[in-house]
């Protein structure tokens, strides 16, 4: 028998301004269930999540929360004002009986001391602090709105592992495809005010969505034929009974309204970068580039050549110096030593992740036109601001809307609209994917694929990097940067190969040591019996541990396990952690013995 839901929303309606934002939306969340909530920017995802928390009241509909259920909510823009330290902020989210030590422990894992002043935090630090507040109580239900925004790669990967280890039910809004594929077990699609549900993970969502839209197109075609028949009757039909005629005219008006609603999904963004004349073949060349702030090395001895048409993704932890490197490579900042040669005929357009170019008090239309009437200078032509807005999915009535009231995704689209209107042959994109919905990300990806210029891209979106980047420049620490061919997944594979190669080569320097220390005891010419026996047994043990890990993961994949057997869930989780630790130790021991055997054999 299915377990009763922790949270249930039914027939939720909400109107903000003109047309309804939510019109019969809803979903249910069972214990331990992991749902991703997807839809276009501005469709009402965050609003629906706020209704789920009880923070916002719907015009009509039902919200049911199981008595005793603990809920924690991570908003897109957390408010940390009124707290003296970050630890105070996290502790304020703990409930009666929650262990306070988890607050300090999570902050420490996220690279914070708990003594920071919330007023001085960066966007990434504020996000990490808000995550600690949401996760520390281990609630029954987690509602997460864009949890990966402003986070660096290591923190996103930590967040994935932490969420997988929790037994909490979750509803997640995110543009990070990789995160959604890893975590989700169901998808709720919010589209034109209504919700549809897919009881599979996000990996199957896009194919399912295409099937739904294709069916809508077929239904719209049938509706067109019915409208044509009714219009034919209007022109040529017998008018003997007036009441019947009036009814059919009303029905025709209803059909036309239905058709107008049916074709709305076809309206979407139409991104196109205005390209300037070709730049020189060499866009930017760095030689022995060094830059530091105090004792902190940002770049050390970097040699890098960026050619016309390259799409270079720049990745690394927050504070590694990605934005500084962008400024150095484009000549906006001066290195401490070394040289940067910027190419000829460059027309640079920059997309700033902080969106400092946007004045919250100006209207959307004034931001696009510069306050100069109703026309936008798009490349070498002028376009009416309303038409250009529609290309980026803004409605005409939003023209006089202040920028400050736009959603995060709408501000992201506005920044893209401003940037892409200017001719360029070098796009410098610093975190362009923040807050963008999946459809807009697809359009941005397609635009970059057709762009003949050069792209420098800072992003923490792993899937986007895989789709866009031709090479990845990775911050390895202490000012060292290494370029890898391909996208993010290719970079991970190459780094793993290099790590294994380094381990195999590690014993080589020890051969020179006996000459410097002649008193040392000579090394044995063969493995001891104990080591030989271990080397023979370890492959079998590794295979057994891998099979055990797969078995335990299959058990934990059951979303209802925690509700049925919480003690069994805890025990299985602990067994999985122990098995993974044993597997790591066994693999390292086998590698150590195999390297020793090869070294003795070659010696």
Q: Check: CATH 3.40.50.300 for 7-207?
A: yes
How many CB atoms lie under 10 A from the CB of residue 455? 22
Is 42 annotated in some ligand binding site?
yes
In this prediction, residue 234 carries a pLDDT of: 57
pLDDT class of 353 with cuts at 50, 70, 90: low
> How far apart are alpha carbons 459 and 448 in whole angstroms?
14
Alpha helices in 274-321 (DSSP H): none
Token pair for 462? 């792993």
Spatial distance between the Cα atoms of 411 and 333, rounded to a whole number of angstroms: 27
Task: Establish whether 322 is an annotated binding residue.
Answer: yes
319 is in an annotated binding site: yes
Cα separations in angstroms, 579 against 35, 167, 547, 590: 28, 19, 10, 16
Greater confidence (502 vs 52) lies with 52
- In this prediction, residue 154 carries a pLDDT of 87
Q: 429-443 pLDDT, tens per residue?
A: 888 887 777 877 887
Residue 534 or 7, more confident: 7
Q: Give pLDDT, residue 519.
A: 38
- 117 has binding-site annotation: no
User: Which class is domain 521-602?
Assistant: mainly alpha
Work out the percent of the chain whose per-residue pLDDT is above 90: 28
When the pLDDT of each residue in the chain is averaged and rounded to a whole number, the result is 81
Looking at 140-144, 326-330, 349-353, 412-416, which range is the least confident one?
A: 349-353
Q: Is 210 exposed, middle or buried (0-12, 13-18, 19+ CB in 10 A)?
A: exposed
Highest-pLDDT range among 336-340, 381-385, 402-406: 336-340
- Is residue 184 a known part of a binding site? no
40: annotated binding-site residue? yes
3-state secondary structure of 113: coil
What pLDDT is recorded for position 378? 79
Quick one: pLDDT band at residue 258, thresholds 50, 70, 90? low
The annotation status of 120 as a binding-site residue, yes or no, is: no
- Answer whether residue 601 shows pLDDT above 80: no
DSSP secondary structure of 498-541? HHHHHHHHTTGGGGGHHHH-TTSPPPPSS--HHHHHHHHHHHHH
Task: Please state, for a pLDDT cut of 70, what percent of the chain lies above it.
Answer: 82
Q: Does the pLDDT at position 464 exceed 90? A: no
Can you give the residue ranges of every domain in the chain?
A: 7-207, 214-266, 521-602
Angle at 355 between CA 143 and CA 462, to 5 degrees: 55
Q: In the beta sheet, which residues pair with residue 337?
A: 290
Region of poorest pLDDT, from 169-183, 243-257, 544-558: 243-257
More confident residue, 460 or 122: 460
Strands, sheet with 169-173, edge to edge from the N-terminal-most edge strand: 71-74, 141-145, 169-173, 34-38, 186-191, 194-198
Instruction: Give me the mean pLDDT over the 246-250 stretch.
Output: 56
Q: Mean pLDDT throughout 264-290?
A: 71
- Contact 600/527 with Cβ under 8 angstroms? yes
Q: What is the pLDDT of residue 518?
A: 38
pLDDT of residue 197: 94
Residue with the bigger pLDDT between 163 and 281: it is 163
Over residues 198-227, the pLDDT tens digits come to 999 998 998 898 888 888 777 776 766 666
Element (H or E) spanning 292, and its range? strand 282-293
Closest among 313, 600, 229, 342 to 485, alpha carbons compared: 313
Q: What is the pLDDT of residues 13-62, one digit of tens each?
A: 998 766 788 999 999 999 999 999 998 877 889 999 999 999 999 999 99
323 annotated as belonging to a binding site for a ligand: yes
Residue 70 and residue 140 in contact, taking contact as beta carbons nearer than 8 Å = yes
**281 annotated to bind ligand:** no
Better-predicted residue by pLDDT, 79 or 276: 79
Q: Is 290 annotated as a binding residue?
A: no
Can you give the pLDDT at residue 253?
Answer: 57
Q: Check pLDDT > 70 for residue 325.
A: yes
45 annotated among ligand-binding-site residues? yes
Residue 246 has pLDDT above 60, yes or no: no
The residue that leads in pLDDT, 79 or 406, is: 79
Instruction: Answer yes or no: is pLDDT of 89 > 90.
Output: yes
DSSP 3-state of 241: coil
Beta strands in 39-174 (DSSP E): 60-65, 71-74, 141-145, 169-173
599 marked among binding-site residues: no
Position 110 pLDDT exceeds 80: yes
Output 232 or 261, whichever has higher pLDDT.
232
| 493 — pLDDT class (breaks 50, 70, 90) | confident
What's residue 199's pLDDT?
A: 92
227 CB neighbour count, 10 Å cutoff? 15
Q: Is 387 helix (H, G, I), strand (E, B) or coil?
A: helix
36 labelled binding-site residue:
no
Asked if pLDDT for residue 1 goes beyond 60, the answer is no
Q: Is 44 annotated as a binding residue?
A: yes
Which pLDDT score, from 0 to 100, does residue 356 have?
Answer: 66
> Does the pLDDT of residue 121 top 50, yes or no?
yes
Phi-psi region at 277: left, alpha or beta (left = phi > 0; alpha = psi -120 to 50): beta
Res 570: pLDDT: 79
Q: Is the pTM of this model over 0.85?
A: no
């Amino acid at each position: 028998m299915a377990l009763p839901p922790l949270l249930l929303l039914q027939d939720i309606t909400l109107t903000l301004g003109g047309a309804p934002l939510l019109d019969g939306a809803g979903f249910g969340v069972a214990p331990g269930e992991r749902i991703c909530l997807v839809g276009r920017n501005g469709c009402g995802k965050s609003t629906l999540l706020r209704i789920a928390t009880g923070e916002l009241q719907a015009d009509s509909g039902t919200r049911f929360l199981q008595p005793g259920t603990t809920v924690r909510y991570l908003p897109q823009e957390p408010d940390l004002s009124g707290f003296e330290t970050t630890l105070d902020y996290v502790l304020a989210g703990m409930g009666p009986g929650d262990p306070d030590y988890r607050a300090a422990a999570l902050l420490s894992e996220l690279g914070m001391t708990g003594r920071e002043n919330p007023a001085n935090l960066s966007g990434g630090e504020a996000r990490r602090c808000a995550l600690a507040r949401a996760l520390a109580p281990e609630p029954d239900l987690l509602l997460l709105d864009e949890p990966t925004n402003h986070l660096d790669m290591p923190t996103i990967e930590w967040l994935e592992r932490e969420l997988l280890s929790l037994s909490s039910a979750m509803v997640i809004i995110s543009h990070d495809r990789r995160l959604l594929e890893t975590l989700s077990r169901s998808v709720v699609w919010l589209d034109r005010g209504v919700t549809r549900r897919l009881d599979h993970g996000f990996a199957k969502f896009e194919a399912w969505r295409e099937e739904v839209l294709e069916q809508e197109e077929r239904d719209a075609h049938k509706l067109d034929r019915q409208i044509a028949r009714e219009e034919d009757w209007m022109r040529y039909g017998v008018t003997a009974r007036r009441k019947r005629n009036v009814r059919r005219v009303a029905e025709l008006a209803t059909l036309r309204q239905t058709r107008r609603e049916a074709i709305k999904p076809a309206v979407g963004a139409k991104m196109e970068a205005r390209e300037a004349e070709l730049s020189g073949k060499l866009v930017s060349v760095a030689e022995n580039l060094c830059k530091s702030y105090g004792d902190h090395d940002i770049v050390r001895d970097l040699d890098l050549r960026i050619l016309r048409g390259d799409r270079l993704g720049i990745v690394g932890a927050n504070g590694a110096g990605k934005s500084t490197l962008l400024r150095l490579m484009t000549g906006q900042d001066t290195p401490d030593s070394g040289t940067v040669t910027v190419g000829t005929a460059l027309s640079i357009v920059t997309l700033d992740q902080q969106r400092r170019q946007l004045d919250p008090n100006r209207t959307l239309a004034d931001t696009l036109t510069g306050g100069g009437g109703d026309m936008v200078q798009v490349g070498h032509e002028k376009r009416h601001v309303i038409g250009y807005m529609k290309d980026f999915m803004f409605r005409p009535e939003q023209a006089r809307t202040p920028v400050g009231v736009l959603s995060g995704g709408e501000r992201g689209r506005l920044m893209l609209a401003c940037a892409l209107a200017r001719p360029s042959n070098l796009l410098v994109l610093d975190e362009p994917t923040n807050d963008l919905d999946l459809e807009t990300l697809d359009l941005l990806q397609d635009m970059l694929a057709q762009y003949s210029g050069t792209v420098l891209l800072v992003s923490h979106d792993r899937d986007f990097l895989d789709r866009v980047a031709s090479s990845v420049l990775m911050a390895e620490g202490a000012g060292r940067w290494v370029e890898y061919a391909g996208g993010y997944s290719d970079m991970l594979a190459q780094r793993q190969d290099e790590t294994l190669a380094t381990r195999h080569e590690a014993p080589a320097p020890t051969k020179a040591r006996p000459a410097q220390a002649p008193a040392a005891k000579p090394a044995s010419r063969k493995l001891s019996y104990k080591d030989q026996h271990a080397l023979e047994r370890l492959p079998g043990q590794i295979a057994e541990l891998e099979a055990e890990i797969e078995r335990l993961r299959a058990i934990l994949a059951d979303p209802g396990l925690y509700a049925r057997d919480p003690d069994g869930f805890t025990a299985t989780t602990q067994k999985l952690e122990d098995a993974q630790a044993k597997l790591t130790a066994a693999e390292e021991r086998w590698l150590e013995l195999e390297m020793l055997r090869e070294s003795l054999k070659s010696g």
